Chain A
Amino acid sequence: MVKAVVMPKLGQSEETVKIVRWRKQVGETVAKGDVLFEIETDKALLEVESFYAGTLLKIVAGEGVTVPVQSTVAFVGDPGEPVPEVVLPAVLPKKADASRPIAVLLPQRGSGLDHRTPSPLPPGGERGAGSAGPRAGEAPPAAPSVAEPQLFRISPRAAKLAKESVIDPTPIVGTGPSGRIVERDVKQYLEAQGYGRLRITPAAKKLAAREGIDLLRLGQKDDGSQITVADIERILAERPKPLTRMRQIIAQRLTESYTHAPHFFVTVSVDVTELESLRAELKAQGTSYTLTDFILKAAALALEQFPNVNSTSDGESIRWHSSIDLGLAVALEQGLVVPVIRQANELTLAEIHARAQELTAKARAGQLTPAEMTGSTFTISNLGMMDVENFTAIINPGESAILAVSSGAKQPVVRNDQVVIRSMMKMTLSSDHRLIDGALAARFLNSIRKTLEEISLWQRSI
């Protein structure tokens, strides 16, 4: 019996999802629970498992394709079974998303290309439909909304010469009928640009042709030596590449926050000497907590006391959050994610520890669901393991403050007019000044500090 594999609905906000990679190929046997494919949402890369056992009969939506949720992406069944014909629903770019650049069909003629970053050549050295297509990973351009492209006219012989010379013919002014570029124009252009003086190794030229690099943009080398493969590879390495979806989201959200919310910063030093020895003691008894666990718990307590910090503003109104949901920034190879510990004020230290461990492990394995990454009301970013003196963090959109925790280190401090060695750890609170004033930030931050330093409290609660 043929079963349709449907793109799951992952959360409230996701309407479309992009398939990044198929982990099973057509004809492969699939067991229930096997990972079928990987998807990319606005927040993360996720794996999708199969609900059915059988053979993967057909892939409807291939890699790089964006589909609406609930649509059929593949069929699983017995080998040889007939598979229904399915047409993928077209996915248009999100409406009202004016900030997203639309693929520009053609460069403006003579637009003064940057001489240091060579422009990619259109395929085959010709401009035409080929160069207007969307690049993998981009939404298809909303073609009708852009003005009709100016026709690029070039004779086949001229195009061939441009291609063989590995140059971009678009800046050439055509002298043929209707401004058509003819072979003579390309020859004159090459001569005027000093093409004959260009010295390049054969392999470098071939590589440039394959990668669509305009040789005229390379220029002469300072020492007069030949352009080599290494030079072309350097240019390729410097070529702009699209950011991953994760980095694009990070860029968009943090820019929005940093430009809309007026940030200010307050720093305190926490004496963690006794907390560290308590941790060591507990560890010896077989229970290990991280310093982050204590900070999460202390922050949850402070937020109960200062509901203004557990709120959000759009500049005109304030909205208090009814629960304390703590975001915990987790660094990944390719970016960072912020899983959420819900109602952290209701959890014991042991429960916070368990939840934090679970979410961190899922984050590192790329298995967090969008629901597990949305709706935090206050965020903690701990760089303690990275040996830093102090740092500031940018507030997560939808929150009014974020706590940046640095490394603990032994330092000489004054206690009762005596210089003693204590383990000191700096914490910096970034606050949205539209909601939080300096005095409030100081009181809130000192409340966390006092909780962390109040060792008898921890001893009682464990």
Chain B
Amino acid sequence: MAAFDIVVIGAGPGGYPAAIRAAQLGASVALVEKEELGGTCLNWGCIPTKTLIASSELFARIKSAGAMGLRVASASFDYAAMADRKDQVVQKLRNGVKQLLKANGVTVFHGSASFQSRNRIQVDPVAAGGEAVVLTSAKTIISTGAASAMPAFLPRHERVVESRGFLNLRALPATTLILGGGFIGCEFACMLAQLGVRVTIVELLEDIVGGIDTDVRRELRRHMEKSLGIRILTGVTLEEITADNRGVRGRAGQENLEADLLLVALGRKPVTQSLKLENAGLAPNERGFLDVDAYGRTRVATIYAVGDVTGGPLLAHAATSQGLVAAENACGRYLHKNETLVPNCIFTSPEIGTVGLSEQEAQQQGRKIKMGKYPFGALGKALAIGEPIGFVKWVADAETNQLLGAHAVGPHATDLIAEAAVAIRAELTAAELARTIHAHPTLAEAWMEAAHVLTGEPIHSAPPRKEVMKSN
């Protein structure tokens, strides 16, 4: 039996930073992982998909290089090589995490953790032949994450895959049916369409990427349909799904659909089954997640939980932030609350970045707000790089001009959102943002121009029209 101050269960983007921070604060730390260091994000999520998307984006740009004055004789791709590059990137990052954990003196246990009691954790070997270990912990941080939902009505067949299964493919299908128009479904749809795959999305709700600002959604959908040729069926269910060696078939409303592959992107389910939570006096809520308070504590005072397993935004960066907070709170520092401002990035084509309140959320809260919007089409840099599509949009308090929300769709929107997140967290008003000198020519100037719209003194756009100054 080994005793530790802190045991972290799950080495994803919530768990491994928590382990490192706890070790930095002087605690003896054990980190238990049953699969790979880095969790879903590094191995089967953010990193591998963004690696593939980088290839598909570049391919799409090369094909349209004529507009930039380039002549590329014949562009083609080798998906297997793209997949190899993806695996190399993942391997490199995984090694990096391993080195960091070692350098910080974190003891890594490879196995499946379960509670024997509140402070005794059993680690069972994943492979046969190993031996179980029991750890005692003063404080425990659960960061077991979530896995793709695969509802029972779906046929179990190699042509029916979720995101993780898709990433193991070595060749692309000619046609793909995507079930679910959330951000995972849309990211895969854009990537596949850029590589010439014919894609159809079937979404039960009335629109894709639900929860995102309506203006932004409209812009994305228009590009996915018009520029990428993706078919998007919303407000319908996919029924009578069958799969065999020739393909997958299903019916959406009156229409029969057929494809080489069905990619399932129906959301994520928390991983708690193997933990034997009941031995620690814990139980998941009715949706399967572990409830925590603002400080990351579960109902049991010595057990914390962070990341996807607690519900919330299901984003790697939120998990990391929560992991650091939980580690600091568990190590008895001044108590911190979890951060509540979480940027949301979607790597579609065009990209989306949002943070803070959307126009619709602000209105639901009964706040008086106004909007400042600026199109990339009016920005020098966006024209120069040949991507004058999309816009940025601020949501601000109508009376104090405090920046409350920011929404970007267009080139590098996922990188651009960082500035907005800093501005909102620092409670800046439109005036400060507008007065901040933004380097020229850059895409980030769009935030400054949109802030000028809010203060009513735009230089590079027409004076604010009535529709822009909307309040409820």
Binding site for B on A (CB under 8 A): 201-204, 206-207, 210, 223, 228-229
Contact = CB atoms under 8 A, between A and B. Distances in A.
A203 B425 CA distance: 10
Interface residues of B, number: 13
A202 B334 contact: no
Interface stretch (B37-45, B242-250, B352-360, B396-404): B396-404
Given A201-B428, A202-B429, A204-B427, 18 more contacts: A201-B426, A201-B427, A202-B426, A202-B428, A202-B431, A202-B432, A203-B397, A203-B428, A203-B429, A206-B400, A206-B401, A206-B402, A207-B400, A207-B402, A210-B399, A210-B400, A228-B427, A229-B402
A201 B424 CA distance: 10
17 contacts: A201-B426, A201-B427, A201-B428, A202-B427, A202-B428, A202-B431, A203-B401, A203-B403, A203-B427, A203-B429, A204-B427, A206-B401, A207-B400, A207-B402, A210-B400, A223-B334, A229-B402
Interface of B: 334, 397, 399-403, 426-429, 431-432
Contacts of B400: 203, 206-207, 210
Nearest to B433: A202
A206 B399 CA distance: 9
| Dominant secondary structure at the A interface | helix
B427 A229 contact: yes
A199 to B, nearest CB: 11
A57 B251 CA distance: 63
Q: Which of A204, A206, A207, A223 has the most CB of B within 10 A?
A: A206
Contacts, number: 30
Contacts of A228: 427
A223 B403 CA distance: 25
Contacts of A201: 426-428
A228 to B, nearest CB: 6
A121 to B, nearest CB: 16
Nearest to B334: A223
Contacts of B399: 210
Contacts of A203: 397, 400-403, 427-429
A206 B427 CA distance: 10
A207 B428 CA distance: 12
B340 to A, nearest CB: 11
Contacts of B402: 203, 206-207, 229
A400 to B, nearest CB: 48
Contacts of A223: 334
A207 B400 CA distance: 6
A210 B428 CA distance: 16
Contacts of B426: 201-202
A207 B403 CA distance: 13
Q: Which of B402, B427, B428, B431 has the most CB of A within 10 A?
A: B427
Contacts of B401: 203, 206
A203 B424 CA distance: 10
Q: Which of A202, A207, A210, A223 has the most CB of B within 10 A?
A: A202
Q: Which of A203, A206, A223, A228 has the most CB of B within 10 A?
A: A203
A235 B321 CA distance: 29
Nearest to B335: A223
- The 10 lowest CB-CB distance pairs between A and B, nearest first, are A201-B427, A203-B402, A203-B427, A206-B400, A202-B429, A202-B432, A207-B400, A203-B429, A202-B428, A229-B427
B423 to A, nearest CB: 10
A215 to B, nearest CB: 15
A229 B428 CA distance: 10
A151 to B, nearest CB: 33
A102 to B, nearest CB: 32
Contacts of A229: 402, 427
A206 B428 CA distance: 10
A288 B431 CA distance: 65
